[in-house]
């Protein structure tokens, strides 16, 4: 499609994307100092990442080991989050739950980006009948409420972490198609794109080298607000019994179990919920900050 | 304007056709014999043959689709595997409960979001603004099922003020009905309130800097009158659009809320149907929610066109 895709760099400076990369870190630091809440959000997200990756070292107790002598014990110093209805350690399960939540949140959005961005790119770049067809399909896809669509897909695929991730990802895909298409439409008319085309760059090269780098930050910002939504969606599906299956320690399944023991063991309900809330809130705070770092014009 | 409305209606019609295609394909993707999927595992040979006959399962796929759509348009969505009642009826008796819940949630959301959004916009960059934004951020980040559980724990278990679950029909005992609906409605309304508050704030900030507001102010009108009479009316237009788009989230939220508070609505129906592999019910609920979402948004756009003279004259803001 692009005969010149492998050609050497263009002699003209306008062919390069105008974003100055060296300034990003510096700007991040400035924004971080001006907006401590965004910085705190980013730090907490990182803590959750560390928790997810380091689960085997942080939570030494086996999260699925049941202990009939320790059923629904209130929090103590030794077991700060108490134990659940099967005598499993609450702290350990919350820590391991971070893994499942992160996995579902990040992979589902990666899937949505992986499908949505190329499709939106093609729709916005070529316009015409193909674009119309893609957009109508996107409209139809968006008409299914996110959660109802996910429930429908899980019904077809069967409940599991992988299928819940798949369902959430497919549910989030149309947002990326629309976003990318809109961004391409506005970028398409920029001088540097017109210039690159005038110099004979093929479609693929224009899309990959000139359009994509300039829309990537907007997609990234959208991703940071989509991940918390995906994390909550996984928790909801697992809570309803349509996601991660017991005994795996998912925050959603933990809350499902906790619901039956609100009177006798309320601590079972505190921590998993706080973890979801904290992670989602931090992601949203960090996302707000990221928007400032990546797109100073908008601020 | 007519041209815009016709085009808008046409797009909605295309969307509805695509929705039906997606649902049809989805049901066909369930592994196994389609007749068995529709009739349930304990159906006998005669029952299976009846289903095959009704949906023309021996015919080519496109013909099967047309037959299925034709039946659906006449309100025949098959029958529930579990109860053997028609899906349309099963759904219809659940709808009022969810509609009541959604209306209450909407009421709560609007009465929180609009004043908060207006105050945040008028007192921009003050402590009020920061507080409103912080609360709104918490509102979108808090998982609503956890909020529900915490409310039950506090209000029902600890304080004993309201019943934790159960349902009483509105016309049987309005008071008992509302006491059981208020907590779920609050839970369902929280996220919506957060989104709407942000929208109101942004729209109001934009409107308040418009020329006609400055004119109204310079005429000597009091601040409150300007905000409420001049700014709010225009500021609410984008809020209505967002409200239409949030209907999907509201329907999704109803699934969770009804499960926690054990309300026998639409949302609980779909969860129960999924667990009992009652595919015709799942199919019906999904089809009806998506279609009503399209129709609600068509209505929102139409009313918006009628209300907003700028669109009326220019033939539509092209957002599609």
CB contact under 8 A, B150 and A281: no
Average pLDDT over residues A51-75: 77
Q: Would you call A34 an interface residue with chain B, using a CB distance cutoff of 8 Å?
A: no
How close is the nearest chain A Cα to the Cα of B287, in Å? 8
Picking from A129, A149, A152 by the largest number of B CB atoms within 10 A of its own CB, the best residue to mutate is A152
CB contact under 8 A, B146 and A269: yes
CB contact under 8 A, A144 and B259: no
pLDDT higher than 50, residue A89? yes
Which tokens go with B175? 């008071």
Residue of B nearest to A145 (CA): B248
pLDDT digits (tens, 9 = 90+) for A111-165: 999 999 999 999 998 888 999 999 989 988 888 888 888 888 888 888 889 999 9
8-state DSSP, B18:
H
pLDDT higher than 50, residue A247? yes
Q: Which residues of chain A does B30 touch, with a Cβ-Cβ cutoff of 8 Å?
A: 155-156
pLDDT higher than 60, residue A167? yes
Tell whether ipTM is more than 0.85.
Answer: no
Q: Would you call B290 an interface residue with chain A, using a CB distance cutoff of 8 Å?
A: yes
| pTM summary value | 0.84
SS3 track for B163-179: CCCCCCCCCCCHHHHHH
Q: Would you call A134 an interface residue with chain B, using a CB distance cutoff of 8 Å?
A: no
SS3 track for chain A: CCCCCCCCCCCCHHHCCCCCCCHHHHHHHHHHHHCHHHHHHHHHHHHHHHHHHCHHHHCCCCCCCCCHHHCCCCCCCCCCCCECCCCCEHHHHHHHHHHHHHHHHHHHHHHHHHHHHHHHHHHHHHCHHHHHHHHHHHHHHHHCCHHHHHHHHHHHHCCCHHHHHHHHHHHHHHHHHHHHHHHHHHHCCCHHHHHHHHCCCCHHHHHHHHHHHHHHHHHHHHHHHHHHHHHHHHHHHHHCCCCCCCCCCCHHHHHHHHHHHCCCCCHHHHHHHHHHHHHHHHHHHHHHHHHHHHCHHHC
What pLDDT does residue B311 have? 58
Q: Would you call A119 an interface residue with chain B, using a CB distance cutoff of 8 Å?
A: no
Span of A169-183, A193-207, B252-266 with lowest mean pLDDT = A193-207
Picking from B140, B149, B155, B274 by the largest number of A CB atoms within 10 A of its own CB, the best residue to mutate is B149
Name which residue leads in pLDDT, A111 or A292. Answer: A111
In which element (H, E) is residue B84 found?
none
C-alpha torsion sign, points A138, A144, A146, A152: negative
How close is the nearest chain A Cα to the Cα of B221, in Å? 32
CB contact under 8 A, B153 and A269: yes
The pLDDT confidence band at residue A18, using thresholds 50, 70 and 90, is very low
Region of A127 please: left (phi>0), alpha (psi -120 to 50) or beta: left
Q: Would you call A14 an interface residue with chain B, using a CB distance cutoff of 8 Å?
A: no
CB contact under 8 A, A269 and B149: yes
What residues of chain B score a pLDDT lower than 50? 315-320
pLDDT higher than 50, residue A183? yes
pLDDT digits (tens, 9 = 90+) for B18-28: 999 988 888 88
Q: Would you call B143 an interface residue with chain A, using a CB distance cutoff of 8 Å?
A: yes
pLDDT digits (tens, 9 = 90+) for A218-242: 888 888 889 999 999 999 999 988 8
Which tokens go with A192? 């540097």
Q: Would you call A271 an interface residue with chain B, using a CB distance cutoff of 8 Å?
A: no
Picking from B252, B285, B300 by the largest number of A CB atoms within 10 A of its own CB, the best residue to mutate is B252
Q: Would you call B253 an interface residue with chain A, using a CB distance cutoff of 8 Å?
A: yes
CB contact under 8 A, B15 and A139: yes
Residue of A nearest to B157 (CA): A263
What values do phi and psi take at B86, rounded to 5? Answer: -70, 145
What pLDDT does residue A44 have? 92
Average per-residue pLDDT for chain A: 82
What pLDDT does residue B30 have? 80
pLDDT higher than 50, residue A15? no
The pLDDT confidence band at residue A180, using thresholds 50, 70 and 90, is very high
Q: Which residues of chain A does B22 touch, with a Cβ-Cβ cutoff of 8 Å?
A: 140-141, 144
């Amino acid at each position: 499609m692009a005969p010149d895709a492998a050609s050497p760099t263009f002699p003209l400076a306008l062919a390069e994307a105008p974003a100055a990369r060296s300034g990003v870190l510096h700007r991040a630091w400035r924004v971080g100092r001006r907006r401590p809440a965004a910085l705190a959000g980013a730090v907490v997200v990182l803590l959750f990442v560390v928790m997810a990756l380091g689960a085997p070292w942080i939570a030494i107790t086996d999260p699925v080991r049941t202990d009939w002598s320790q059923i629904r014990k209130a929090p103590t110093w030794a077991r700060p989050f108490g134990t659940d209805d099967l005598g499993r350690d609450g702290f350990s399960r919350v820590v391991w739950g971070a893994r499942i939540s992160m996995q579902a949140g990040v992979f589902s959005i990666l899937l949505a980006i992986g499908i949505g961005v190329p499709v939106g790119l093609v729709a916005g770049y070529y316009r015409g009948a193909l674009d119309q067809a893609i957009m109508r399909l996107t409209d139809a896809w968006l008409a299914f409420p996110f959660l109802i669509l996910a429930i429908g897909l899980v019904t077809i695929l069967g409940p599991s972490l992988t299928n819940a991730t798949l369902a959430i990802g497919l549910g989030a895909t149309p947002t990326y198609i629309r976003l990318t298409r809109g961004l391409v439409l506005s970028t398409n008319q920029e001088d540097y794109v017109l210039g690159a085309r005038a110099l004979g760059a093929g479609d693929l090269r224009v899309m990959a080298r000139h359009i994509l780098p300039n829309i990537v930050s907007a997609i990234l910002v959208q991703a940071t607000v989509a991940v918390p939504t995906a994390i909550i969606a996984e928790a909801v599906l697992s809570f309803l019994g349509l996601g991660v299956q017991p005994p795996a320690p998912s925050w959603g399944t933990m809350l499902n179990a906790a619901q039956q023991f609100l009177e006798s063991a309320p601590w079972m309900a505190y921590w998993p919920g706080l973890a979801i809330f904290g992670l989602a809130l931090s992601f949203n705070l960090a996302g707000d900050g990221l928007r400032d770092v990546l797109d100073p014009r908008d601020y | 304007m007519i041209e815009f409305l016709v085009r808008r209606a046409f797009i909605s019609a295309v969307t509805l056709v695509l929705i039906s295609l997606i649902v049809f394909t989805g049901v066909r993707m369930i592994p196994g014999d389609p007749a068995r999927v529709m009739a349930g595992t304990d159906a006998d040979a005669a029952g299976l043959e009846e289903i095959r006959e009704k949906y023309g399962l021996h015919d080519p796929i496109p013909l099967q689709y047309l037959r299925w759509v034709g039946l659906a348009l006449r309100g025949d969505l098959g029958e529930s595997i579990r109860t053997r009642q028609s899906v349309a009826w099963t759904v219809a008796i659940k709808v009022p409960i969810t509609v009541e819940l959604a209306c209450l949630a909407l009421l709560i959301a609007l009465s929180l979001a609009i004043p908060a959004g207006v105050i945040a916009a008028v007192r921009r960059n003050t402590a009020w603004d920061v507080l409103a934004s912080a609360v709104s951020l918490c509102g979108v980040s808090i998982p609503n099922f956890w909020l529900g559980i915490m409310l039950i724990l506090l209000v029902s278990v600890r304080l004993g003020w309201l019943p934790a679950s159960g349902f009483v029909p509105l016309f049987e005992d309005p008071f008992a009905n509302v006491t059981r609906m208020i907590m779920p409605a609050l839970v369902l309304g929280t996220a919506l309130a957060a989104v709407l508050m942000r929208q109101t704030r942004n729209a109001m900030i934009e409107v308040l800097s418009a020329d006609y507001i400055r004119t109204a102010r310079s005429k000597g009108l009091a601040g409150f009158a300007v905000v409420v009479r001049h700014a709010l009316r225009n500021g609410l237009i984008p809020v209505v659009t967002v409200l239409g788009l949030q209907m999907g989230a509201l329907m999704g939220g109803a699934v969770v809320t009804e499960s926690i508070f054990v309300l026998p609505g639409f949302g609980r129906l779909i969860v129960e149907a999924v667990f009992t592999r009652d595919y015709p019910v799942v199919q019906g609920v999904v089809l009806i929610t998506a279609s009503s979402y399209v129709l609600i948004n068509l209505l929102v756009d139409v009313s918006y066109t009628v209300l907003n003279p700028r669109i009326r004259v220019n033939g539509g803001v092209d957002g599609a």
